[in-house]
Structure 1
Amino acid sequence: MGKNQLIHGNEFHLLKQAEIHKATGKLVESLNLAAGSTGGFDIYKVVETYFTDLEKRKEINDLLGISEPCETRATEESFS
């Protein structure tokens, strides 16, 4: 994606794996983590999955108690 193009919630699929990993690497660095993936901990995979897998994102949101806006649910239900 271009530097000035903003990605919205319905466009996460436009993000490339390399872009996600690069941004996640910056997070790892800013938190002074020795590594972003080690022994049962893989922040790269978590972030990539959250952006690219809608079903997994819903599962993660459910675990964290993050609810979807009503209009999102209504739109998805109308296509089911």
Structure 2
Amino acid sequence: MPTRTQIPAKRVTSAREVLALNMIRLRAERGWSQEALAFEAELHRTFIAHVERQVRNISLDNVERIAKAFQVPIAELLTPELLEA
């Protein structure tokens, strides 16, 4: 199982940022492009790019689609990663 990238909690300031950082991390762990994620989630590539840049407000339905594409619980997309002490 791949090692999870740790995100310092102090850097995270919003739910959009948490979601974006987790999407970027999960894509990197899988070696997926934004286009590959978009295909798996049945969303448009530019939508994925906008969410990752935090310029797009995303619905819960689309969060669910992204979680299903990654095969992770929705909570994993919305939970900040903490640095290990």
Q: TM-score, normalised by structure 2?
A: 0.28
Higher relative contact order (CA 8 A, sep 6+): 2
Instruction: Compare CA radii of gyration and give the structure with the larger one.
Output: 1
